[in-house]
Structure 1
Amino acid sequence: MFVAFVDNVLRPFWVLWVIMIFTGIVFYAYWPKNKSRLEEYGNIPLRDDNEER
């Protein structure tokens, strides 16, 4: 019964679910509160190895 519900009702809307998840990730990434932390994470590959020691 549950499988039939998922197959008949939720499955046709998979594109909407993916768009909603993607939009949530984008809003999280651009939220002003997270800006400094995410910019710091973005600079990790550019750091010099000697800087961490």
Structure 2
Amino acid sequence: MKAIPTVQNFTSDFVTTFWTPIFVGVFLAIVAYAYWPRNKAAFDEAAKMPLREEWRDHD
């Protein structure tokens, strides 16, 4: 028995074959950016931001 082509089948095939590899590529690019050695100082500084005591100016 042959599958009946429907909008749902076309949409599912389109998402699987086109968008999934794009999203995987975007995810890998974000991970590479986060672990790139040049960005370490900026991320370390951002990680310490909540711990800073800058409330002295607000007293």
Q: TM-score, normalised by structure 1?
A: 0.63
Q: TM-score, normalised by structure 2?
A: 0.58
Count of aligned pairs: 46
Gaps in structure 2 of 5+ consecutive residues: 1-10
Question: Sequence identity, in percent?
Answer: 33
Alignment RMSD (CA, Å): 2.5
Gaps in structure 1 of 5+ consecutive residues: 1-6
Q: Which has the larger radius of gyration?
A: 2
Structure with greater helix share of residues? 1
* TM-aligned CA deviation for residue 12 of structure 1: 3.6
Moved over 2 A (4+): 10-13, 49-53
